[in-house]
Amino acid sequence: MNKPIKALNARSATGKISNEAFLNRVMFLVLIVLFALASIFIDKYFSTATALNLIANNWYIVILGIGVTFLLVSGHLDMSVGGIVGMAGVLSAYFTQPANEGFSELGQGLGLPYGVAILLTLLVCLFIGMLNALFIAKMRVASIIVTLGTMSIARGIGQVAALGAQRSAGLPDLFGVIGNVPLFGPIKIAAAIAAILVVIALFIEKKTSFGRRTYLIGANREAARLSGVKVELHIGLLYMLSALLAGITGILLASEMKAGISTRGAGFEFNALVVTLLGGASIDGGVGSVLGMVIGALILGVVSSAAYGLLLRPEWQFILKAVVTFLAIIAQRYLLDRRNK
């Protein structure tokens, strides 16, 4: 079972690198070219500070992208992550706020210790992941339909818990620590957590049977089943992993802002999908990598920061990001098709 999957990531007998490695190199070149162009047109863009800011400002999409990458490789989508991010931030604040009637309704919570609040929040996020798993893996409902529904459920829970606003009053000092501990320059501990999660994900992807089974399911679901892979269980675990990572992201963002904001995470599901596609993943499954996703996140970060540096209006920033993303993905497909002829 492992030989076909290992072949995806290895050199052929002729020494030709795999399609995955080829796409990673192509997109890394795109990243360098875009950074160079931005440095030409934007004063002082070429600097260590800019590179550090790219990491500091995009760690959240990298964490989300890990779960989305594994799911996309398996041939599935997860559009619920943005809603889970908002829900997790609000719930972590609500669970932590003091149970004191002297505060306004938005300042009253359950008064739980912060560690307990985080654990309880992540359990709620896992429940959303379990709903996705139940309907998609067991009942075989289309993943985009289910996850759009659970995105609305998660967003609704956050809106109800925050009364359509945000929870920030009465939060203990500990609430804002994990999202604001500085390491060096603009880099905070959240970026370090993202880096650790990427290393773990790369190990799982390249060195474990779990990673190989994910590729096999995406390449041929029936062949995976005949090879002894428990396909439904595996897909269910992937959805729970994605929900867990979204919950971690929401908790870190809420800590960074020292508030649980019900609208936080809006549109994150699309950004996570975009960076994964930029990294060479295929909607059809069987192709993609965590490393490619990280490169895709940096590309999107360069485009966003360049648009801001060029003083483009917000609507033009959206158009610029869309055009660059579209061209990059088209170039990927074109080069890959020519290479495989």
pLDDT in tens, 85-111: 999 999 999 999 988 765 677 888 898
At 154, the pLDDT band (50, 70, 90 cuts) reads very high
The secondary structure of 19-84, three-state, reads HHHHHHHHHHHHHHHHHHHHHHHCCCCCCHHHHHHHHHHHHHHHHHHHHHHHHHHCCCCCCCHHHH
Place of tokens 């295929």: 282
pLDDT for position 70? 97
Domains of the chain, CATH where assigned: 2-339 (1.10.3470)
How much is the average pLDDT of 134-153? Answer: 95
How much is the average pLDDT of 44-65? Answer: 91
- Hey, is 320 helix, strand or coil? helix
69 residue type, one letter: T
Structure token pair of residue 32: 């360098």
Q: Is residue 262 within 8 Å of residue 86, measured between CB atoms? A: yes
Structure token pair of residue 15: 């020494």
> What's the CA gap between 197 and 267, in Å, rounded?
22
User: What is the average pLDDT score of the chain?
Assistant: 88
Query: Is residue 11 scored above 50 in pLDDT?
Result: no
pLDDT for position 5? 45
Q: pLDDT digit string (tens) for 256-266? A: 999 999 999 99
pLDDT for position 66? 97
Taking CA atoms, 153 is separated from 70, 85, 137, 144, 159, in Å, by 23, 12, 19, 14, 10
